[in-house]
A and B are shown apart, each in its own frame.
Chain A
């Protein structure tokens, strides 16, 4: 089965942790993840400026590691990211901002990438709210 997984809440929301555990289970069961799409507050998971207390799980870091290990296509909605302060080098230069903070392994792109993923996939599983 081919999945698109969308992440809609920030990295400290329980739903973003559940999204990661679900994605791990998808691959463990031999299914395919076409794309992980980060939208709304989910884009904050792709910031490399997150600092998590030592006694807490760093879900953003775990997402990044999972994406790298499995060479997943991880797309962050560019409009949602810009308005929440998540910029890659190109956007930081374009808007005259000092820092690019999009973590490695993620790409900024448009909502068209969500629709493109859906056309290739068989299931969309969205994780939002709490």
Chain B
């Protein structure tokens, strides 16, 4: 059985290339049909916000890459509830369906995967 990866994406979407490069790890796993899920934490939760306007920063729309994930077989997205709450985003609309996890559920999630990659 293929070994599984939990990718923890912690970088804000427009603070450089890091968030996009994290997402590329997920897309590559999908291309090879390997099991990978993504947990958005810290400023990484900002990637999930709807109605962003990256063009104002002359940036490519990262949410388009996010929305490509299901086509690559990456269907399971998680988001740390406390990171949304800390940023006043607890009630915000997210661009993708992501399961909201409390800290205990995050601990449990991490235990379920063979590898954890944090970017």
Question: Do A and B interact?
Answer: yes
Determine chain B's interface SS by DSSP, over half rule: mixed
Do residues A114 and B119 form an inter-chain contact, with CB atoms below 8 A? no
Do residues A118 and B119 form an inter-chain contact, with CB atoms below 8 A? no
Complexed CA–CA distance, A112 and B3 (Å): 14
Residues on B with beta carbons closer than 8 Å to the beta carbon of A112: 28, 31-32
Interface size on A, residues (CB 8 A): 18
Instruction: Identify 6 residue pairs between A and B in the complex whose beta-carbon atoms are under 8 Å apart, listed by A's number.
Output: A40-B17, A110-B28, A111-B28, A115-B32, A116-B32, A128-B118
What is the CB-to-nearest-CB distance from B71 to chain A, in angstroms, rounded to a whole number? 17
What is the CB-to-nearest-CB distance from A36 to chain B, in angstroms, rounded to a whole number? 15
Do residues A118 and B31 form an inter-chain contact, with CB atoms below 8 A? no
Contact with B3, one of A6, A8, A110, A118 (Cβ below 8 angstroms): A118
Contact with B25, one of A111, A116, A128 (Cβ below 8 angstroms): A111
Q: Does B55 have its Cβ within 8 Å of any Cβ on chain A?
A: no
How does the 8 Å CB contact mask read for A99-124 relative to B, with 1 for contact and 0 for none?
00000000000111011101100001
Do residues B34 and A128 form an inter-chain contact, with CB atoms below 8 A? no
How does the 8 Å CB contact mask read for B96-119 relative to A, with 1 for contact and 0 for none?
000000000000000000110111
Q: Does B74 have its Cβ within 8 Å of any Cβ on chain A?
A: no
Q: Which of B23-44 contact A (CB under 8 A)?
A: 24-25, 28-29, 31-32, 34
Contact with A115, one of B17, B21, B28, B119 (Cβ below 8 angstroms): B28
